[in-house]
Amino acid sequence: MSLDLSQFMDVDIQKIRLHATPFALLALHPAYKLDMELVERHYLILQKELHPDRFAHKSASESQTAQMMTSWINRAYTTLKDPVLRAEALLRIAGCSIPDEKTAGDSDLLSEIMEWRQKLQLLESEPAYKEFCHELQHSIKTCEENFHQAWETRNQQTLQAHYLRLCYLIKTLKQAQQHTIKAAAVVGA
């Protein structure tokens, strides 16, 4: 299979990019739950087809188009691998605004996040840390399932709420990973 980019030469490729989703760029149906092996397979096929060596003897325009498309494919792949970025892409497809932490008005969510952060600060042992991470990862999985269900019904308000919760939970997990690194550094000193 060889990719013929000549068909794109008369098209304003920048206009295509404005409307292309990460899912479309990797020839996938928009969904939160993705088969990551399939994502990887599509990515690798496109990378192979758009590799610069394949365009070494082509026109400068075709070579530039291939480079631009490779950049888009790389960004699409990065987006789809990251749960928060993938959720953001779906929010955009659904026509939702992307909420940020400053707009979080849900007192239950804010209380939950404060609880997670307080628990994190009180961790004093490796077993406690492992249990904390296990519970947090379970909450993330539940949130991802809830986001998936909201996507299936296209409920914009629920999508936004689960997206915001997912952001907070993943941010807390990253803080927990940094927390254990700091604790390990203190113990090792």
> What DSSP state is assigned to residue 11?
S
Distance of CA 168 to the CA centre of its chain: 14
Contacts of 93 (CB under 8 A, 6+ apart): 21, 23, 30
Q: Is 26 helix (H, G, I), strand (E, B) or coil?
A: coil
Q: How many Cα atoms sit within 13 Å of 45 on the Cβ side?
A: 12
Q: Which residue has the tokens 């920048």?
A: 14
Give me the tens of pLDDT residue by residue for the chain, a chain 189 residues long.
Answer: 455 555 444 445 555 555 689 999 999 999 999 999 999 999 999 998 888 788 878 888 888 888 888 889 999 999 999 999 999 999 999 999 888 765 566 788 889 999 999 999 988 888 999 999 999 999 999 999 999 999 999 999 999 999 999 999 999 999 998 876 555 544 444
Query: pTM for the complete prediction?
Result: 0.81
